Amino acid sequence: MKIIAVGRNYAEHIHELQNERPTTPVVFCKPDTALLKDNAPFYLPDFSQDVHHELEIVLKICKEGKNIDAKFANKYYDEIGLGIDFTARDLQNELKAKGLPWEIAKAFNGSAPVSNFVPITEFPDLRNLSFDLLVNGNLRQHGNTSMMLFDFDTIIAYVSKFFTLKKGDLIFTGTPKGVKAVHIGDRLEGFIDGRKFFDFEVK
C-alpha cells in the first residue's frame, strides 16, 4: 500500500506557514514504514528539534483506478479515518529554502499514525465533517471539511492522474491551522464529529 498526502489544502494553514495558495493540490507520498496503527506511541526522531502535528482526515481507497473522473471519485473510497501527518518542520524549511524535495521531513518512520477506519455511510455529510485534536486535553487544532480548497473527489481525480490508486491505499487530505511542535510525554487525542478516533502518546 502507499500513502498519498495533500499539502496546503486549508487556507488558514497556508497563511500560518506563509505559503502560496496552490492552484492544483500539492501532493507528496509516504512509504508504508511511515504508518503507525492501533494508538501505538510516536517516537520523536533525533534529527529534528521541531516535529509538528498536522491533523488530517484520511480516505481509504476501496478499488483500483487511475485517471478517475471527479464525478465517479466517490466510488473509490468507502471508509475514512483520522491521522497525523508528522512533519519535521526545521528540516522541511531547510530543504524548501534550497529548493530540494522535503521527503525526509515528511515521510520518516512513524510519521503517519492513523486511526481505525469507519464506513462513510456513518457520516451524514462528508463535506461538513468537524475534526479536532486535543494535546494534553487542550484543543490544539479544529477543522471542518467545508473549508478545504480541494474536496475529496477533486483530490482523488487529481492524484489518480499520476498514481494508480489501489485498494488499501490511504490519502491524507490536508491540515487546518494550529500546527505546532510535539514533545515527549504529550498525549494526542483525535475526534471526528465529537467521536474519538485516536489516542496516543509521544515518547
Considering only 57, 68, 85, 107, the residue that binds Mg ion (CB under 5 A) is 85
- CA neighbor of 131 nearest in space, from 38, 177, 194, 53: 194
Task: Tell the smallest beta-carbon distance from residue 68 to Mg ion (Å).
Answer: 22
Residue from 188, 148, 202 nearest 172 by CA: 148
d(CA 116, CA 86): 18
Closest CA to 85 of 25, 24, 7, 23: 7
Is residue 153 within the footprint of Mg ion (CB under 5 A)?
Answer: no
Given the rule CB under 5 A, which of 71-79, 84-92, 125-133, 154-162 is the region that contacts Mg ion?
A: 84-92
Contact 173, 6 (CB under 8 A): yes
- The answer to whether the beta carbons of residues 10 and 147 sit under 8 Å apart is yes
**Least distance to Mg ion from the beta carbon of 188, Å?**
15
Interface pick for Mg ion out of 8, 149, 175, 192 (rule CB under 5 A): 175
Tell me if 9 contacts Mg ion by CB under 5 A. Answer: no
| Least distance in angstroms from the C-beta of 18 to Mg ion | 16
Site string for Mg ion, 47-76 (x = CB under 5 A): -------x----------------------
Task: Label residues 60-90 b or e (16+ Cβ within 10 Å = b).
Answer: bbbeebeebeeeebeebbebbbbbbbbbbbb
Selected range binding Mg ion among 17-25, 81-89, 93-101, 189-197, rule: CB under 5 A = 81-89
Question: Residue 134 corresponds to which cell in the numbers above?
Answer: 486535543
- C-alpha cell of residue 93: 524549511
| Shortest distance in whole angstroms from residue 91 CB to Mg ion | 15
* Beta carbon of residue 203, minimum distance to Mg ion (angstroms, whole number): 22
Binding positions for Mg ion, rule: CB under 5 A? 54, 85, 175
